[in-house]
């Protein structure tokens, strides 16, 4: 056969293969991966890849009743479900968003815990009493002391529990307001939230716990004063009533509900928010209708380091690993590791109410969350201090002086300017150099429904509402007037587990 004829036949065969569908696809298949990419393209970066790729329970498998209905599929909800399942219960999780995770997905720095096995392995001497005292001080002595005592005393056990189900947090750093390294994060130092959600979701699915998304719970039902189920609206399938022997609300706070924020804190109008769009306070409203009460609703934490254009949190771990804050003159102006409210107040006193986080390649290597900030275009990078100063518009000579003074402070272990004592293990001398422009943003709602250490929701007389439990950011009282960074992740695991345990005990005794 002539050579030209062979080539023509090969080309013809290739064309026929494409036409028959065996060749490369020109359209993207409609899969969960495609949906996740579409969400990403819309700028919704708050779901983890593990959550967005998950195969959630199909609606046709929904039953009319369960032992326990859990409202909200964040860290607290999934922890509650796993403990309920371990107690022999038949729980279900209902999540109003298209994916699991909630605000847990956005957690960055880590999970605080004291007297842990990982601290001991690394020679970190810590005490539960010290954790208690520093958290109480950070909350301006307004924390619910019973809740706080339970919290610190069960923090190490929570780290062990996570490790037992394949979620290992053995890379330890420090956050503002703490004197010891007790902020636990994944081995590679990456953001804790995505790792946590992916690991919990994997365990939930392995345990066969049904988890329904696009399931917007509207009401807690009751009979004879006892919670006995929920009314839930599904995106395309109308409203259903699901019976339960107990109900656990883990629906998060209200940091994305500007109407509520305007009512309780009108001074925060105009602030950006780092919160997941599902954080609208639904759980609080439902519990109030059941007779539950709230506490500390006006206590809303403003995080000092938020990238303003994208409302994206720059985690405290960057400062914990050695970064400093500078003003438009290239000067430090605060102890960067002070409590969040103090750092926020210092930034708000600046004429422009914004500042720069400045750090080096060493910080970048130790705080791997920086890689995400780089990908998102938040980070200015230059090989020299002078070039970085020019890029961010601050005086080069002053920035150089500031870094020299800081590096001397690190060497001598004494910050004569602002008294910083933590996050000083490494100086800032390893090029290239980096800067992120930041300002304050609404981050966390310390207020919420009132519960006891059994996670039972309390009425106006301080008595438990039978069959109704709550955990996580939907609750209030633990943090007082100011939350320490790393404590919210600990809260959702510690009290999420407790809600699963205690709601199961209630079901067993109510039989």
Residue 252 in this model has a pLDDT that exceeds 60:
yes
For 159, list phi and psi in degrees, rounded to 5: -65, -45
Enumerate the active-site residues: 340
In this prediction, residue 39 has a pLDDT band, given cuts at 50, 70 and 90, of: very low
- At 446-490, the pLDDT tens digits run 999 999 999 999 999 999 999 999 999 999 999 999 999 999 999
CATH of domain 302-441: 3.90.700.10
Q: In this predicted structure, what is the pLDDT of residue 19?
A: 39
CATH of domain 57-299+446-510: 3.50.50.60
Residue 70 DSSP SS3: strand
Q: CB-based burial of residue 183 (10 Å sphere; 0-12 exposed, 13-18 middle, 19+ buried)?
A: buried
Residue 167 DSSP SS3: coil
- With pLDDT > 70 as the criterion, what percentage of the chain qualifies? 89
CA 504 to chain centre: 26
User: How is the chain split into domains, by residue range?
Assistant: 57-299+446-510, 302-441
Q: In this predicted structure, what is the pLDDT of residue 275?
A: 94
Summary count for the chain: helices (H), strands (E)? 18, 19
In this prediction, residue 54 has a pLDDT band, given cuts at 50, 70 and 90, of: confident
- For the record, the structure tokens of 404 come out as 């020299």
- At 365-407, the pLDDT tens digits run 999 889 999 999 999 999 999 999 999 999 999 999 999 999 9
Residue 15 in this model has a pLDDT that exceeds 90:
no
Q: In this predicted structure, what is the pLDDT of residue 190?
A: 87
Mean pLDDT of the chain: 91
CB 496 within 8 A of CB 156: no
Q: In this predicted structure, what is the pLDDT of residue 24?
A: 31
- Could you tell me the CA-to-CA distances from 87 to 80, 81, 175, 202 in Å, in that order? 11, 10, 35, 19
Which of 25-34, 57-66, 185-194, 499-508 shows the lowest per-residue confidence on average (mean pLDDT)? Answer: 25-34
In this prediction, residue 37 has a pLDDT band, given cuts at 50, 70 and 90, of: very low
CB 227 within 8 A of CB 452: no
Residue 207 in this model has a pLDDT that exceeds 50:
yes
The number of C-alpha atoms within 13 Å of 405 and in the hemisphere containing its C-beta is 15
Q: In this predicted structure, what is the pLDDT of residue 38?
A: 40
Interval 321-336 mean pLDDT: 98
pTM of the shown model: 0.83
């Amino acid at each position: 056969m002539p050579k030209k004829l062979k080539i023509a036949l090969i080309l013809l065969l290739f064309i026929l293969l494409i036409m028959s569908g065996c060749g490369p696809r020109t359209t993207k298949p409609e899969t969960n991966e495609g949906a996740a990419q579409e969400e990403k393209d819309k700028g919704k970066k708050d779901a983890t890849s593990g959550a967005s790729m998950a195969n959630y329970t199909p609606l046709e498998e929904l039953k009319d009743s369960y032992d326990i209905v859990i409202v909200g599929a964040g860290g607290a909800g999934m922890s509650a479900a796993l403990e309920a399942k371990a107690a022999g219960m038949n729980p279900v999780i209902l999540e109003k968003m298209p994916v699991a995770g909630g605000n847990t997905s956005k957690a960055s720095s880590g999970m605080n815990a004291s007297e842990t096995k990982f601290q001991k392995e690394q020679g970190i001497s810590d005490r539960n009493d010290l954790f208690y005292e520093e958290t109480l001080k950070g909350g301006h002595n307004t924390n619910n002391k019973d809740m706080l005592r339970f919290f610190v005393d069960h923090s190490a056990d929570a780290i062990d529990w996570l490790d037992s189900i394949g979620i290992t947090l053995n890379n330890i750093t420090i956050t503002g307001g703490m004197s010891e390294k007790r902020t636990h994060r994944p081995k590679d130092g990456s953001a804790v939230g995505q790792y946590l959600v992916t690991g919990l979701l994997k365990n939930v699915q392995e345990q066969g716990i049904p988890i329904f998304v696009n399931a917007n719970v509207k009401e807690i039902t009751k009979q004879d004063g006892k919670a006995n189920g929920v009314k839930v609206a599904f995106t395309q399938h109308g409203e259903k009533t699901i019976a339960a022997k107990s109900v656990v609300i883990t629906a998060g706070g209200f940091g994305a509900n500007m109407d509520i924020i305007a009512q309780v804190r009108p001074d925060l109008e105009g602030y950006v928010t780092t919160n997941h769009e599902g954080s609208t306070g639904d759980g609080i409203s439902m519990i109030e209708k059941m007779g539950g009460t709230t506490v500390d609703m006006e206590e809303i934490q403003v995080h000092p380091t938020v990238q303003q254009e994208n409302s994206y949190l720059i985690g405290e771990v960057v400062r914990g690993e050695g970064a400093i804050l500078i003003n438009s003159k290239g000067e430090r102006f605060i102890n960067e590791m002070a409590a969040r409210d103090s750092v926020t107040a210092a930034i708000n006193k600046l004429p422009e109410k914004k500042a720069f986080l400045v750090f080096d390649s060493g910080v970048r290597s130790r705080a791997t969350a920086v890689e995400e900030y780089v990908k998102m275009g938040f980070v200015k990078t230059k090989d020299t201090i002078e070039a970085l100063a020019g890029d961010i518009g601050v005086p080069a000579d002053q920035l150089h002086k500031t870094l020299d003074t800081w590096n001397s402070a690190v060497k001598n272990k004494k910050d004569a300017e602002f008294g910083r004592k933590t996050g000083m293990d490494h100086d800032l001398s390893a090029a290239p150099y980096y800067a992120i422009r930041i300002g304050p943003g609404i981050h966390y709602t310390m207020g919420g429904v009132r519960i006891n250490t059994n996670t039972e929701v309390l009425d106006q007389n301080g008595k438990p509402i039978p069959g109704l439990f709550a955990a996580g950011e939907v609750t209030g009282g633990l943090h007082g007037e100011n939350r320490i960074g790393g404590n919210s992740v600990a809260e959702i695991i510690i009290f999420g587990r407790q809600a699963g345990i205690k709601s199961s005990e209630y079901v067993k005794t109510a039989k």
